[in-house]
Structure 1
Amino acid sequence: MATQDRLTAPIQSVKFGAPKPQLLVPLLRTEGLSVSYGPNQVVTDVSFDLNPGKSLALIGESGSGKSTIARAVLRLLPSGGRATGRVEFDGQDVLGLSERRFRPLRGRVIGFVPQDPGNSLNPVRTIGVQAMEAAALLDEPSKAIRKELILETFAQVGLDNPRRVYDSYPHQLSGGMLQRVLIGLAVLPRPMLLVADEPTSALDVTIQKRILDLLSRLQRDLDISLLLITHDLAIAAERADSLVVLKNGLVQEAGRTAAVFSSPKSAYAKKLHADVPALNPDRYARLRDPGFRLLDTGAGKPPKIEVSAVTKRFSVDGKVLTAVDNLSFSVPAGTTHALVGESGSGKTTTIRLLLGLEEPDSGKIVVAGQQLPERSSASLRGVWRHLQLVYQNPFTSLDPTWKVEQLVREPLDRFKIGTPGERVEIVREALANVGLGEHLFSRKPGALSGGQRQRVAIARSLVLKPDVIVLDEPTSALDVSVQADIVEVLLSLQARFGLTYVFVSHDLALVRQLAHTVSVMQRGRIVEHGTVSSIFDNPQQPYTRSLLDSIPSAASGIARLPQPRARRILTKEKIA
């Protein structure tokens, strides 16, 4: 058999015997599935069916039990975890199988795509070496043929130069490429079921769409059933045939996607629907109105931020890379300006220049009427007093050994603002402004939720009463419901104190909700600039249109896959 035939042909006697007539049973069924860790039950009485060739999404916020259910299906619960009930795969209860009897299923017929490729791939081993481990599941004795199958699978998942990828280390590839590698390794043995745990949560919107399109195509072409785990109802509505909505380990609602999406019955499903930016672009219209009024009435007034003809180059491996090229934009006081674009578009370099962490090669940056000085601690101290940054991930930006009160008070201590007693009052006020009570003052970041940590980071940026706050992907690590709370806090603070925001994000749906003006960046240049309505409603550039077309939206219709072909049947005898 030719190598290509080996890749595309259904795996039959190689693993589990010849195909048999299709059985009228779900490929995956859970009945009364519960999971406990010691005395704590985290998943309770979960039941659902996933039919052959179909897709089902488990949705809910962090702690809802989505990933725990997936690990129970894969028999990968951590030590101390105990699952009860039934998990049937192809008609056979596999929950009670020993690890020795279940191991032939994992990887071969039940594939897994984890959330974070950075933690899933060994950084000191090449992609090829790690791919060979997955290829061992093919029962192909020839190493050369296994390598060819790997390369062909890499090409099938959209990696342009499979041989370069094969020889690369993980750090030499982008996040989107690494996610494609993981998908390729998962589908290499041609599983019957693919479990994808938040496979696009950290990716740009265009890469996210390509990865989701890839999963849909592989599902169709390879006759794979897909169990998709996500907190994003818009993605689930666009990509899944059916949904299971979870909260605190309990099923809140389940059914066909169209029915759950169009008329959610449970209060929690309704809240999830309301919190998805792509589905509710005008949710914060009232809070944004003051900024729009400033845009209308502020003609002739000096902007709070003015970036004029700024260029920044870096030398990489002896080559000159232009990260920011003749960049110009301005931000009126009291408004939010968004910088959007794919990874590598220059967004991060732009905010580093704005914060004085890098010096432009040419051009100038003016903040609150003062030109940004040369980069030195002394000259920039005054700038940082009025220009603060909220990082993407508060868990890594906040000192884990400090208490909340210390974290928020530190800027006051460094700038020697007020007496010790006055600083305590300023900290208390800042935390109250972001909705955090005094009972949290003595906690450390590890004892806070993701949303609480981000509120602490925002309070820390507020204590100096800055004019400008730079928001670097401030909600990308948060669930959609927590994200909605943070956005409301930010807009409320802006309306109350007249703050000016520079908002960096790859989530265009969120930008539509939060920003007043937008600059679209591509390869270091601004390709389009204007108000949110002009950019989103009437984009002029193909690149902008491609970004907007990548926003998940069930309104565009849920893609329906054709009926599955005759499939491989894993008989009870073979499992046993």
Structure 2
Amino acid sequence: MASQDRLNTRLVSIKNAAASAAQPAPLLSVKNLSVAYGANRVVHDVGFELGRGKSLALIGESGSGKSTIARAVLRLLPGAGHATGEVEFDGREILGLPERQFRPLRGRAIGFVPQDPGNSLNPVRTIGVQAMEAASLTDETNAALRKVLILETFAQVGLDNPQRVYDSYPHQLSGGMLQRVLIGLAVLPRPALLVADEPTSALDVTIQKRILDLLTRLQHDLDISLLLITHDLAIAAERADQLVVLKDGAVQEAGKTRTVFSSPNSAYARKLHADVPALNPDRYAKLRDPGFRLLDRTSGTASKIEVSAVTKTFAVDGKVLTAVDDVSFSVPAGTTHALVGESGSGKTTTIRLLLGLDEPDTGEIAIAGENLAGRSQQQLRSVWRQLQLVYQNPFTSLDPTWTVEKLVREPLDRFKVGTAAERSEQVREALSNVGLGEHLLSRKPGALSGGQRQRVAIARALVLKPDVIVLDEPTSALDVSVQADIVEVLLSLQARLGLTYVFVSHDLALVRQLAHTVSVMQRGRIVEHGRVSDIFDNPQHGYTAALLDSIPSGISTISQTPPKAQPQAEPVIRTERRERIA
């Protein structure tokens, strides 16, 4: 009996060995990876494998360790960072390699697409000069042929006029173009692995889709493995074969995309799923109901905001640019109206006109029946007390040298509201309204999280008890979980205080969760307007339909065949891969 057991064990071992031999070795294998900064351990025993030509997404909130893991793989940790464990690339252990031996791999065999092209490209050097540095990592030694390779790659990543891009400085290109440049520079040496760290987080949804489509197409066309870092579960589910869910530097869940996305086991993965706007459009239905009831009751009555046939032009390089073209919309009190569209559609100019920061060339704007036209700065002060703004980026809108108490109290001081004691009480009330405690009063913005900073910005806008708040992309810099908390705060305050919101965003999934009515803007004009449900369920304009099609919706849209560009627009490029460094 014992001999039979030994025989069975031997047969199982042989079968397992044969199965392992039949499967190709992974391109990237991470085992027991830990990262510490001094005594502070921020990544804990992380492990995963990425196959050749496959994609894997690291997902989680800020601070979950996603980018730290990527930088450990790239050997780009700050000086104080120390990684332990095993990282094998193409069968070679790289974590313990001396820098001089690893350097030939970085850029050539392992490419990197950083998050922010604005900070990743030198603003005083042309794109061509910087591209030549990337081209030096290829096998091509002839400068003229290197330039040909650069232009071919720029065309491959969808840049319409490669020569113009080559000759341009970074500030002369849009954000989407700059991100394509970075991707082009990363794939120029034809790496085996491409690490993309939040490559679309700051882009419009349509540009985001184009960039993600591009990465998927390059992955398949060039047989590149893709390590994607993102906080958006819907994007990860659309674009990756496998998911690794991280929280506080530890793996919460890992596996095939379909399994993790459709049936998450961990509470954290389920929360991420619940916080993605595209996957939960009716999450805040009860909080929005009072606004919809007001819409039904106030039909035909005066609105809190009336924008009528407004046009605004600017002179740019001797030419007249029409930034806002015959725009009209109204917002009933107690409801949220969204302005949506891509960058350059006129959203920001429209809210500047609404706030009285610019004057329209033609048309009228009225707040609570008061026309803004022709008012002096002093006369506008009474309007501004009832009309407050929450900026897009709390990092830049809050003075880093001021405490939370001083930041929230400043509007009260400027308008000389109440006594000193009453102002202090109103500051505490405003903080309480956005879910912040008094223990934060003495802190400065640098000691707060991104979500706390944005809540302080909202409290600052609320402290004067305004009727109208303009929200300019108030959650675009936040993780989806923090964003969900902020949205719940805003809608709860609206339901309780009857606030009127104008919400500016390029995120249509978020607009569907938050707004009651919407205006879709393109090149300064409103191309579609109405209730959110009507516009989203039955768009009448092609541009609106294109915006809606760009919303990432999860695993159901995954296709085995990557999106292809039109053949005539796809130049022939060099797809050979450089020989691996021995």
Relative to the length of structure 1, the TM-score reads 0.94
Report if aligned partners of 1:237, 1:257 keep a CA contact under 8 Å in 2.
yes
Map 1:477-488 onto structure 2 (within 5 A): 477-488=477-488
Report if aligned partners of 1:357, 1:375 keep a CA contact under 8 Å in 2.
no
Please report how far the alpha carbon of residue 507 of structure 1 lies from its aligned counterpart in structure 2 after TM superposition: 0.5
Aligned match of 2:530: 530
Please report how far the alpha carbon of residue 568 of structure 1 lies from its aligned counterpart in structure 2 after TM superposition: 5.9
Amino acid at match of 1:362: T
Report if aligned partners of 1:373, 1:380 keep a CA contact under 8 Å in 2.
no
Report if aligned partners of 1:90, 1:570 keep a CA contact under 8 Å in 2.
no
Aligned match of 2:124: 124
Distance in 2, Cα, partners of 1:223 & 1:430: 54
Aligned match of 1:34: 34
- With over 3 angstroms needed to count, the CA separation of the structure-2 counterparts of 1:555 and 1:26, relative to structure 1, is closer
Distance in 1, Cα, partners of 2:391 & 2:375: 20
Aligned match of 2:318: 318
Q: What SS class does the counterpart of residue 503 from structure 1 fall into?
A: strand
Aligned match of 2:444: 444
Distance in 1, Cα, partners of 2:182 & 2:521: 29
Amino acid at match of 2:402: W
Q: What SS class does the counterpart of residue 307 from structure 1 fall into?
A: strand
Distance in 1, Cα, partners of 2:151 & 2:576: 25
Aligned match of 1:340: 340
Q: What SS class does the counterpart of residue 84 from structure 2 fall into?
A: strand
Deviations 1:20-58 (A, max 9, x none): x99821000100000010000000000000001110000
Aligned match of 2:18: none
Distance in 2, Cα, partners of 1:233 & 1:375: 48
Distance in 1, Cα, partners of 2:24 & 2:101: 24
Aligned match of 1:553: 553
Amino acid at match of 2:73: V
Report if aligned partners of 1:110, 1:194 keep a CA contact under 8 Å in 2.
yes
Q: What SS class does the counterpart of residue 44 from structure 1 fall into?
A: strand
Please report how far the alpha carbon of residue 380 of structure 1 lies from its aligned counterpart in structure 2 after TM superposition: 1.3
Aligned match of 2:388: 388
Please report how far the alpha carbon of residue 80 of structure 1 lies from its aligned counterpart in structure 2 after TM superposition: 1.0
Map 1:454-473 onto structure 2 (within 5 A): 454-473=454-473
Distance in 2, Cα, partners of 1:440 & 1:69: 31
User: Unaligned regions of 5+ residues in structure 2, if any?
Assistant: 1-20, 563-574
Distance in 1, Cα, partners of 2:520 & 2:356: 22
Aligned match of 1:520: 520
Distance in 1, Cα, partners of 2:339 & 2:83: 46
1:237 equivalenced with 2:245 (yes/no): no
Relative to the length of structure 2, the TM-score reads 0.93
Aligned match of 1:13: none
Aligned match of 1:47: 47
- With over 3 angstroms needed to count, the CA separation of the structure-2 counterparts of 1:385 and 1:195, relative to structure 1, is same
4+ runs of 1 displaced by more than 3 Å? 566-571
Aligned match of 2:227: 227
Deviations 1:94-153 (A, max 9, x none): 111010000110000100000000000000110001000000001322111101110110
1:248 equivalenced with 2:248 (yes/no): yes
Distance in 1, Cα, partners of 2:357 & 2:296: 33
Distance in 2, Cα, partners of 1:104 & 1:344: 41
Please report how far the alpha carbon of residue 415 of structure 1 lies from its aligned counterpart in structure 2 after TM superposition: 0.2
- With over 3 angstroms needed to count, the CA separation of the structure-2 counterparts of 1:45 and 1:63, relative to structure 1, is same
Aligned match of 2:206: 206
Distance in 2, Cα, partners of 1:476 & 1:420: 35
- With over 3 angstroms needed to count, the CA separation of the structure-2 counterparts of 1:527 and 1:343, relative to structure 1, is same
Aligned match of 1:283: 283
Q: How many residues are aligned here?
A: 550
Please report how far the alpha carbon of residue 376 of structure 1 lies from its aligned counterpart in structure 2 after TM superposition: 3.5
Report if aligned partners of 2:451, 2:478 keep a CA contact under 8 Å in 1.
yes
Deviations 1:319-374 (A, max 9, x none): 00000000000001000000000111000000000001110000000001100143
Distance in 1, Cα, partners of 2:286 & 2:489: 13
Report if aligned partners of 2:258, 2:555 keep a CA contact under 8 Å in 1.
no
Farther-moved stretch of structure 1 (481-490 vs 22-31): 22-31
Identical pairs, percent: 82
Distance in 1, Cα, partners of 2:138 & 2:221: 19
Deviations 1:164-223 (A, max 9, x none): 111100000000000000000000000000000000000000000000000000001010
Aligned match of 2:417: 417
1:186 equivalenced with 2:213 (yes/no): no
Report if aligned partners of 2:234, 2:555 keep a CA contact under 8 Å in 1.
no
Aligned match of 1:11: none
Amino acid at match of 2:25: V
Distance in 2, Cα, partners of 1:260 & 1:53: 21
Report if aligned partners of 1:57, 1:230 keep a CA contact under 8 Å in 2.
yes
Please report how far the alpha carbon of residue 570 of structure 1 lies from its aligned counterpart in structure 2 after TM superposition: 6.4
Aligned match of 1:217: 217
Deviations 1:219-267 (A, max 9, x none): 0101000000000000001111000000000000000000000000000
Deviations 1:404-456 (A, max 9, x none): 00000000000000000000000000000000001000000000000000000
Report if aligned partners of 2:189, 2:578 keep a CA contact under 8 Å in 1.
no
Aligned match of 1:506: 506
Aligned match of 1:353: 353
Distance in 2, Cα, partners of 1:165 & 1:232: 30
Deviations 1:303-328 (A, max 9, x none): 00000000000000000000000000
